[in-house]
Structure 1
Amino acid sequence: MPFDVTILAPHVPFLLKGALLTAEACALALVGSLIIGLLVAALRTSSSPLLSRAAFVYVDLFRNIPFIVQLFFFFYGLPEIGIYVDAFTTGVIALSIAGGAFSSDVIRSGILAIDTGIIEAAEVSGLSKPVIFRKIVMPIALRTSIRPLGSVFINLVLTSSILSTITLNELTGSAKIVASDTFRPFEVYAVLLIAYASLTYLVSLAIGVLHRRLNRDRMPEVA
């Protein structure tokens, strides 16, 4: 049977709707994972053994459990104890929590890489620890961590394809439906390959632009 992508023309609006749903879920999850990553990284570098240990347990737990198991727990498990959340919200929350565990490790590495002389100088200037962390430590850590964070975010976009397993008709879920309707899985999944490659390329491009903006004063070092 010859390759004929034109057979998918009637299904383009449906596939685009799935692509927009994927983009929306990923955008929200990227923000959520970054916020969680910042908070957890702050706790892991805290002087409090209790907070640091709690943050470590969270990271260790969610980095070592398959994402699909986490997703099924939130979507199928929580209703058993009376917690009901729709598929889209569940997907965003699950992606944020899983991504936050990986993001926190990257941001923590950025924090630990900061020259202690900078922090000591800020302390001598009379700045409080919360102000130093918020105004000095976090901006520097994010600036140095933006590229590795990009890899985390790209992986998050790819992982979002698993959301189709909880009845969410995002890009992969929509493609599965079209493939079963048209009996042309080769064309459908070829388009899906291109779609995900395009999404990850856009994320990579955005990270590159952001990296250059944040490091424009020291580009010869980081280029």
Structure 2
Amino acid sequence: MFDISIIAKYSGAFLDGFAITAAVSVMSILGSFIVGLGVMFACVSQSKALNKFGYGYIECFRNIPFIVQVFFVFYGLPELGVFIDPYTTGVLALSVAVGAYCADILRASVQQVDREVIEAAQSFGLERKTIYRKIILPIALRTSIRPIGSVFINLILTTSILSTVTLNELTGTAKIIAAETFRPFEVYFFLLLFYCVLTYALSLIISGIHRKLNRQFLVGE
């Protein structure tokens, strides 16, 4: 029989796990977006060396399982004398891995910007940096917000893997509670519902941002 009292009894522990999940997610979203922007600029750079680095970065981190990357940082680097705590490991690994997906999406969006728009800006004597900052990036972000939002939703779900490196985020906390109470059905059912509600709420926020950006763009025209 379903026992909801288990969830109520351990609500404090669940809240602590949620706080860690939220902190890791926010920091990783910021980090991955910054990494994505940097790698995207490398991909569209006029430098062949930067181009190779950018595309190589994307292909490399998109083709390595995330759990392998986490294990390398947490268990592998200590062999070289580099010790990183579980929280920092999660933020670092997620930022580096998800940054590759953000970079690829941004690169595609930038390269899809109408050449006539760029040429018109160049005809006014605008510098390359100004054109990117004022024209290309706003258009690229407007068109890429949905796919990037999907990547960020997946990032939040991927934080559950960090329980494998002793980080007691939401999933790690649920595993401990399930082991203590011998009530895995209630614990993991709550966890399932929580992730579902969390990601659905985020998808609604992303849709709202997408509509707002497109509405402003159309008004600007």
User: Contact conserved, 1:175 with 1:188, CA < 8 A, in 2?
Assistant: yes
Q: Which letter maps to 1:78?
A: L
Instruction: Name the TM-score, length of structure 1 as normaliser.
Output: 0.95
Kindly tell me the number of residue pairs found equivalent between the two proteins.
219
Which residue does the alignment assign to 2:183? 184
SS in 2 for 1:47: coil
Deviation at 1:218, TM superposition (A): 4.8
Q: Which letter maps to 1:73?
A: F
User: Contact conserved, 1:153 with 1:203, CA < 8 A, in 2?
Assistant: no
Q: Which letter maps to 1:24?
A: A
Q: Which letter maps to 1:130?
A: K
Structure 1 moving runs of 4+ over 6 Å: none
Q: Which letter maps to 1:137?
A: I
How far apart, CA to CA, are the structure 1 residues paired with 2:80 and 2:44? 34
Which residue does the alignment assign to 1:83? 82
- In structure 1, the gaps of 5 or more residues are none
How far apart, CA to CA, are the structure 1 residues paired with 2:168 and 2:86? 10
Aligned-residue RMSD, C-alpha: 1.2
Deviation at 1:19, TM superposition (A): 0.8
1:203 aligns with 2:202: yes
How far apart, CA to CA, are the structure 2 residues paired with 1:117 and 1:141? 15
Deviation at 1:82, TM superposition (A): 1.4
How far apart, CA to CA, are the structure 1 residues paired with 2:209 and 2:36? 18
Instruction: Name the TM-score, length of structure 2 as normaliser.
Output: 0.96
How far apart, CA to CA, are the structure 2 residues paired with 1:14 and 1:182? 13
Q: Which letter maps to 1:131?
A: T
Deviation at 1:202, TM superposition (A): 2.1
SS in 2 for 1:58: helix
Q: Which letter maps to 1:60?
A: E
Which residue does the alignment assign to 1:60? 59
How far apart, CA to CA, are the structure 2 residues paired with 1:209 and 1:8? 32
169-178 or 203-212: bigger deviation: 203-212
Deviation at 1:165, TM superposition (A): 0.4
How far apart, CA to CA, are the structure 2 residues paired with 1:74 and 1:8? 33
- In structure 2, the gaps of 5 or more residues are none
Identity of aligned residues (%): 53
How far apart, CA to CA, are the structure 2 residues paired with 1:30 and 1:217? 24
Which residue does the alignment assign to 2:159? 160
Q: Which letter maps to 1:178?
A: I
